[in-house]
Amino acid sequence: MGGYGGSGNWTYGDYLMLHDLLKLQGDERGVSSDEMHFIIVHQTFELWFKQIIRELTEARDILGQIPVPEDDVPRAVDHLARTTEIFRLMANQWTVLETLTPQGFLAFRDGLGTASGFESFQMREFEALLGLEADDRLFGVDPLETFRKLAERGGEDKDVLERLEARVQEDSLYGSLKRWIERTPIMGSSYGSAGDEETVEGYVREHLKAHRRIGDQAVEKMASLGNRDPGSVRERMDSAHESATAFLIPDGNVSRVRAGLLFIESYRELPLLTWPRRLIDAFVELEEAMAKWRHDHARMVERIIGKRTGTGGTSGVDYLDATARYRIFKDLWEVRTILVKPQDRPELRNSEFYGYQVDS
């Protein structure tokens, strides 16, 4: 009987546990409609957070397999796509909160004490699961610190801390993605096969040569157009080339992960790369949706409390705006900066390996 379990005899209310769920919105405290709406919006967000953690865990586990069975990749894409849609929906949900006037909020704000979204442990859990590194957090914020303090109260707060600490130790979604990308066949050469290192290095060097050539052409073009300061264009191109080199060859060794990513992004039209690029696109879309959701939170907050400090003790809207600049899937963003036009990319070798006859 579908999702109705063994008995097949549920009522709608029992199946959804509505009798319990609908007791949790503050009626017994006699909350105003403004405050009830504030609670319900938060609760719906937290319910979605729960689903997000589930989707991302499954995607992480799929990509954590070595090797990842080919027909599992579309499933990972589906989990990410659902998460993205949830973020888009949540980004729109801020407008419901915006029906709260600044004064309407002030009327019950004091009652919140120090309670703040900053203490959303599910949010911290999915950030860790995604792969947001502690070092990349703003202003040295250590989210676990918050939960260590709360854990002193024991009980469920202690469980939360344990759960978060375990999550931080686990593989992240981004970590599994990178390990998967590392095994991308490059120019037909398989990860770990004889001569693979040379092939990958050759590919990276050739790409960098093209990158350099395009920079040179841009400088020449600027000069021919009468740019008054060709020196500064040269400087910019040189520094862009240095960054591209440092990205692909960090510490003097070619990064096979980044080379694989560059390869997938550069030869996107190859049939064998269809799912890899769709997977990468799904990651990029997800992070874009998250950044927009964070941004819209800041706009809603600015509208309701202006530049007041938050109940969680941060600077408030300035802090939230800064979090919209977090990038977890850094390499996926950075590779975009170093791509070259299709006609300038290194000539594809072993095209038949990718299910495509380039020469025909």
- Least separation in angstroms between residue 51's CB and ligand HEM is 13
User: 5, 306, 313, 355: which one contacts ligand HEM (CB under 6 A)?
Assistant: 313
**Segment lying near ligand HEM (by CB under 6 A), choices 81-89, 181-189, 223-231, 317-325:** 317-325
Burial class (CB in 10 A: 0-12, 13-18, 19+), 262: buried
**Segment lying near ligand HEM (by CB under 6 A), choices 8-16, 52-60, 315-323, 336-344:** 315-323
- Number of residues in contact with ligand HEM, rule: CB under 6 A? 25
**Residue 117 makes contact with ligand HEM by CB under 6 A:** yes
Q: Choose among 180, 186, 211: nearest CA to 199.
A: 186
Nearer to ligand HEM, 87 or 319 (CB): 319
Tell me, residue by residue from 323 to 342, as one string, x for binding to ligand HEM by CB under 6 A and - for no binding: x-------------------
**Segment lying near ligand HEM (by CB under 6 A), choices 177-185, 246-254, 258-266, 302-310:** 302-310
**Residue 180 makes contact with ligand HEM by CB under 6 A:** no
- Least separation in angstroms between residue 149's CB and ligand HEM is 15
> Which residue is it, tokens 């549920």?
10
**Residue 48 makes contact with ligand HEM by CB under 6 A:** no
Q: Choose among 271, 266, 60, 71: nearest CA to 180.
A: 60
**Residue 121 makes contact with ligand HEM by CB under 6 A:** no
- Least separation in angstroms between residue 45's CB and ligand HEM is 3
**Segment lying near ligand HEM (by CB under 6 A), choices 42-50, 55-63, 253-261, 341-349:** 42-50
Nearer to ligand HEM, 59 or 100 (CB): 100
**Segment lying near ligand HEM (by CB under 6 A), choices 210-218, 279-287, 297-305, 339-347:** 297-305
**Residue 87 makes contact with ligand HEM by CB under 6 A:** no
**Residue 310 makes contact with ligand HEM by CB under 6 A:** yes
User: 91, 186, 289, 320: which one contacts ligand HEM (CB under 6 A)?
Assistant: 320
User: 311, 332, 345, 348: which one contacts ligand HEM (CB under 6 A)?
Assistant: 311
Distance CA 87, CA 322 (A): 18
**Residue 150 makes contact with ligand HEM by CB under 6 A:** no
Distance CA 13, CA 17 (A): 6
**Residue 41 makes contact with ligand HEM by CB under 6 A:** yes
Residues interacting with ligand HEM, by CB under 6 A?
A: 41-42, 45-46, 97, 100, 105, 116-118, 120, 123, 297, 301, 304-305, 310-314, 316, 319-320, 323
